[in-house]
Structure 1
């Protein structure tokens, strides 16, 4: 599976274009905004987008979802249904952070822990990883050792838990019990900032390293 990171919105959120090399079928992960940048990347990679995948429903990750889904006539998959209140509140989020007013939407498919999603001939596992938001999910492609973790984990940091229904202890459990067991060599695309590996974060991340016990 191939991927391309497309920073979007004033928050420089890492929207990802992922695709199957065999079929050229693709998915857009977390289209928060700046749809012209996303469309440009789709055209440059000569792929056919068949769905949108959402890790969670904060405005910088989900703000462009409804518009892009309509433009490309594609389905919206994810996040977990516990994030529905964030989707309903997208207009309020936009007003709060100075984003363009987005359309709300109802995903074509809610996701839960243990689900699988396909992109062309590639299959990604779905892990429900609450804490940053209650309905946050992570997508993991085992053959290439790649995880798209949204705002659960960053290089040297973790997601905020001071938003409604966030929970620090739950987030730590999600990282340690769901993500780290996938393996130290797994590379991950975070919602913001540079990529890292789970092994590097286990050694050095001040919030979740093995040294914290």
Structure 2
């Protein structure tokens, strides 16, 4: 069974997420936006074996610590989808724009595509390509535990911004309604910022989805 711990990082309180298989202790960090020492400490405290660094998209608060974390651990970076390459190439510029610690550009060891599967011990994550906030944004979904990490696609009571380069509101809404909500009302999700919710709660109450 997949377990997780939410570790808000950066001045933007981005929900970096440590996930692991309880049988094998293999672990991944989704969206290592910064505060690398703190993320590594969480892995060590639980006695986990870090196996992947996963990225939902290329914005600084989600990917700013990825290069440093890979350099210190040797763990490969997977994701996002390749349409976000321009964001990852520009992480240095993003860090200066938002007064973040200097971030190095990231070239993932593997770009992810719709339908890819990531084996984490006995657990398996399905990759969903959900553009709109960024063109290469992906979501990670675990069917067994009815859980997803959705990055900045969907929030409790809100949706991702679409005013960044190559963002698109209609595309974002289509990603939510055609990719995420059909997974089922019971699916709980960790958003990129803020509290967890479920797809059912957002379908009923989120004003942006009416």
Quick one: distance in 1 between partners of 2:46 and 2:151?
23
User: Alpha-carbon deviation of 1:105?
Assistant: 2.0
3-state secondary structure, aligned to 1:143: coil
Q: TM-score, normalised by structure 1?
A: 0.97
Quick one: distance in 2 between partners of 1:159 and 1:11?
14
Match of 1:49 in 2: 50
User: Alpha-carbon deviation of 1:143?
Assistant: 0.2
Quick one: distance in 2 between partners of 1:83 and 1:161?
14
Match of 2:22 in 1: 21
Match of 2:120 in 1: 119
Q: How does 1:31-180 map to 2 (within 5 A)?
A: 31-180=32-181
3-state secondary structure, aligned to 2:207: coil
Structure 1: 5+ residue stretches without partners:
none
Shifted more, 36-45 versus 182-191: the winner is 36-45
3-state secondary structure, aligned to 1:94: helix
Quick one: distance in 2 between partners of 1:122 and 1:43?
20
Quick one: distance in 2 between partners of 1:121 and 1:84?
30
Structure 2: 5+ residue stretches without partners:
none
Quick one: distance in 1 between partners of 2:192 and 2:19?
15
Write the deviation string for residues 5-49 of structure 1: whole angstroms up to 9, x where unpaired: 000000000000000011000000000001111011111111010
Shifted more, 178-187 versus 41-50: the winner is 41-50
Q: TM-score, normalised by structure 2?
A: 0.98
3-state secondary structure, aligned to 2:175: helix
Quick one: distance in 1 between partners of 2:118 and 2:111?
11
Quick one: distance in 2 between partners of 1:38 and 1:2?
16
Match of 1:187 in 2: 188
Number of residue-to-residue matches in the alignment: 209
User: Alpha-carbon deviation of 1:88?
Assistant: 0.6
Quick one: distance in 2 between partners of 1:143 and 1:45?
22
Runs of 4+ in 1 over 2 A off after TM superposition: none
Shifted more, 36-45 versus 89-98: the winner is 36-45
Write the deviation string for residues 47-67 of structure 1: whole angstroms up to 9, x where unpaired: 010110100010000000011
